[in-house]
Every structure is written in structure tokens, then in C-alpha cells.
Amino acid sequence: MLGVKISIYLMAFILANYIVIWYGPTGLIFTALFLVPFDFVMRCVFHETMKGFKLFLFMAFLVSLASLVTYYINQDSMNIALGSVFGFSCAQLFAGIFYQFFIKKSYFIKVNGSDFIGIIVDSIVFQLVAFNSIDSGITISQILMKVLGGLFWYWIFFKVIKIQNKLI
């Protein structure tokens, strides 16, 4: 089951990168509703099954692997791959710290709160690294879309599937 989660996480991450490669900064809006929030919520699922340095190394490996695959498939995607690795690494670090700090709180608080922190960090860092600038309109749109997408994936995972009952 972990292998399926990892594969889907990586596919969503790489597809998001390629949408941005194909459409430029506007592609960030396309990825913001479903793909990026999916990966943020999946990080929360991974956080429930792994702890401490193991989780840190696991997430660093996944983010690096997705960025390397993005670059390997298209060597012209260096800025997007770098934006992904720095944006998501910073975002996952801050989101993970928040999640751990609120580990005893409800899933709603720790999942959506950590996603919110990570969403803001990712939306800013990715643009800075990938495009050397920040478009405030895209950033605000991205943050709003990612928050809505995060709520959607939270609802799917924790209310419909009830993944918290299936975590080891």
C-alpha cells in the first residue's frame, strides 16, 4: 500500500511540474486546485506513519526524486525542477514542524493548518527560484486554490476514505 501512495505522490508532483513547464507561471493556477494540495495532504498521511528523521529523509528523497525525474525527462526544465525541490522542501519542512507541534490536535487542525503554512511557503519560494520573480496575482490565486484543494483532499482522505482508521 505504501508503494501505491508513493507512486501517486510522485506522479502528481511530476505532472504539476510539467504543467508549469508547458504553461509557464499560468500553469501554477492549473496545478493549484488538485495536484499540489494532493501532495500536501499526502505528506500528512506519511507524517502519521513515520516520525522524526525517518520522515525527514523520506520526504527529502521523494521531493528530490520527483525533481530529478522532471529534469531527466526534459533537460530544459532545470529552473522548474530547482523551484520544485526548493519550494517543496521548504514548504514540507515548515508544514511538518507545524504538524508535529499540533500532533495531538484533530486531523482537521493539523492537516489543514500544516497545509496552509506549506502552501504559502511553496507558492512564494517556487516562483522565486523557477521564475526569479513573484507575480502577486498568481501567488494569491495559487494560495486560495491550494487551500480549497487541500480542504477537498482532506475531505476525501479523512472523511470519505477515513484513512486515519487505516494508518499503521
Domain assignment present for 142: yes
pTM of the model: 0.91
Domain count, the chain: 1
168 lies in a domain? Answer: no
Specify if 155 maps to a domain. yes
Q: How many CB atoms lie within 10 A of CB 21?
A: 18
For residue 90, being part of any structural domain is answered with yes
Does residue 167 sit within a domain?
no
Q: Is 91 within a domain?
A: yes
Domain that holds residue 19: 2-162
107 within a domain of the structure (yes/no)? yes
Is residue 108 one of the residues assigned to a domain? Answer: yes
pLDDT tens digits along 41-86: 999 999 988 988 899 999 999 999 999 999 999 888 899 999 999 9
Cα distances (angstroms) measured from residue 165 to each of 35, 73, 102, 107, 161:
24, 38, 19, 12, 9
pLDDT tens digits, one per residue of 117-150: 999 999 999 999 999 999 999 999 999 999 999 9
When pLDDT is averaged across residues 153-157 and rounded to a whole number, the result is 96
